[in-house]
Amino acid sequence: MPPSPATSAPPLPRRRTLHGQFVQRLLWPLVLAFVLAAGTTATVNYHSEKAQHTALREQTLRIFARTLIKPLWDCDGATARGIVDTLAQQPLVQAVRLHDSCGDNVIASESALDTILPAQDPAHTNQLAMPLHHRDEQGRDHQVGHLSVQFTPFSMAQAAMQNLGQQLAVFAAMLVVVLLGAALVFRHLIGRPLARFRQAISDQRTVRSHAGPADAGEGLRNDELSDVVQAYDALLEELDSRFARQSTLAHCARSLLATAAGQQSPLPEVLAQVLRTTGADRIYLAENLQTTATTWQAQARVVAGAPWPDAAQALVPARWRSCFEERSGLLGTVEDLPEPERQQLIAAGVRSVAALPVWGQGQWFGYLCVQDLQQQRRWSDSERVFLHTVADMIGAFLESRQHTRTLDRAIVQLRDSERALQHRARHDPLTGLGNRVVLEEALGHALAHAQAGEDLHGYVLLLDLDGFKPVNDTHGHAAGDVLLQTVAQRLQACLRSTDTVTRLGGDEFVIVAQGKGPQFQLDQLLAKVTAAVEAPVDYLGQALQVGASIGAARFPEAGRSSAELLVRADQAMYAAKLAKRLPR
């Protein structure tokens, strides 16, 4: 089934040869030149013929006017008539009119009555008139007559076409000769070499695909075209290498940008890719250790790659360090280096080296070094740009990673500070127990569960230490603090993990305990709390002992809000404290 018009490929344009394009582009200028030459020739012929026609009319009029003066002075009418008839027969003359002043009569040709207008008529440009004067022996001037001549009208088309055909024929012949000559010269000097050039390029591609670039120059002739083919082959190699370098830069950029914090460093992979692209033998990235060595040789820790076998550190000549600090690199053969550096690198087997600094925005991180062990290579401009770009990308990556680590540390510190602030806002700084904020939250949750049903109930215990003030006054505030801390620890230890112990302030503590069923009894809870509080506390070898007054409020029976429960517990606590003071 034939393809539909919507999916069929558009037809290729008609192939135009260079020879045809040359002839077509040369033809139009030549045709234009031919037209311009024809117009110029017609204009020149017109003006030339017009000037000749005007001069001939004036000359004819002057000659016959001088001839008529003598017969008119002598009143010889017959002679004057003959001269007029002769003038009327001239090629350019249409009619003649002569006015004889002596006899006061007019002598004219046969056609003068129809064509000759009155004398001195400026509207007729083809008519010329001239008065006839005679000078006597005393030098007096006498007008003997007036001659008017009507000449043939001047034709512009006839004047322009005069000799035009012959001139254009010659020019057209020259045009054809030039066009044919140019076409033959183009075919000989350009067309054939181009065909040979296309064939040579085709052969060169075949040789490159089978033999490789090293054998690609074999079989070429020693001429200019062979030089062009070799230059073309070198250009192809350069374009291939530039494309490979651009691809490497893109791959390195993706690897560096895609690496998240905590992942394995992409630098070894990046250096390996750069090494393959440059065709060198060694590559390493050395970290700047900020040393102050004054000798020609300093140390820098290798962080990626390997400068030479069994080398844990890279040699950094002092001159290199100064260049790196100025953000300039060193690229060339070892023969271009000073003597100490040259001997050191030759001993390491290096023939060519490219060392470039790795900088961030304002920090020198180290340097990138590429070494060739096989040849003394001159690094091209594109290779220099490539290596500088790689060094800049690595510098940006290291700086970004440094910023990321700094930011991570700052975030951790902020989180620790936030947790510390939250802990201080919710806990007592002396005992570490929760404060009133924690108490309100615990009571709120406990009330919500108790009011939900399921036989849940609980107790709010408000505990006040009996005898704490004498201990504080007798042994000091430090002893009172140790006592409070010990009591807080004992309360936490004797209660369940689901119970909440908080310190309201001073020597007052609040316990929120919740349970289910009859087994959750208040007496058992009070016994454990009382035992934990009244046990002696050792302080510097002295036993410190206090008692406990505890008030309890059962929820939800005693209240349905935290404030109400605390009030009930506080009342019960003061009742218990008062009961201890009353005599039995």
Active-site annotation, residues: 507
Q: How far is CA 293 from CA 225, 315, 321, 343, in A?
A: 58, 12, 10, 20
Concatenated DSSP letters of 428-494: -TTT--B-HHHHHHHHHHHHHHHHT-TTEEEEEEEEEEETHHHHHHHH-HHHHHHHHHHHHHHHHHH
Q: Residue type for 231, please?
A: A
Instruction: Retrieve residue 493's tokens.
Output: 């230890």
Identity of the amino acid at 492: Q
> What does the alpha-carbon distance between residue 460 and residue 569 come to, in Å, rounded to a whole number?
7
Q: What is the DSSP letter of 560?
A: S
- Sign of torsion over alpha carbons 151, 155, 158, 163: positive
Angle between helices 381-426 and 436-451 (to 10 degrees): 80
Count the neighbouring beta carbons within 10 Å of the beta carbon of residue 373.
13
Is residue 333 within 8 Å of residue 355, measured between CB atoms?
no
Evaluate whether 428 touches 435 at the Cβ level (below 8 Å): yes
Query: Quick one: CA dihedral 182, 185, 186, 187, positive or negative?
Result: positive
Side chain identity at 315, as an amino acid letter?
L
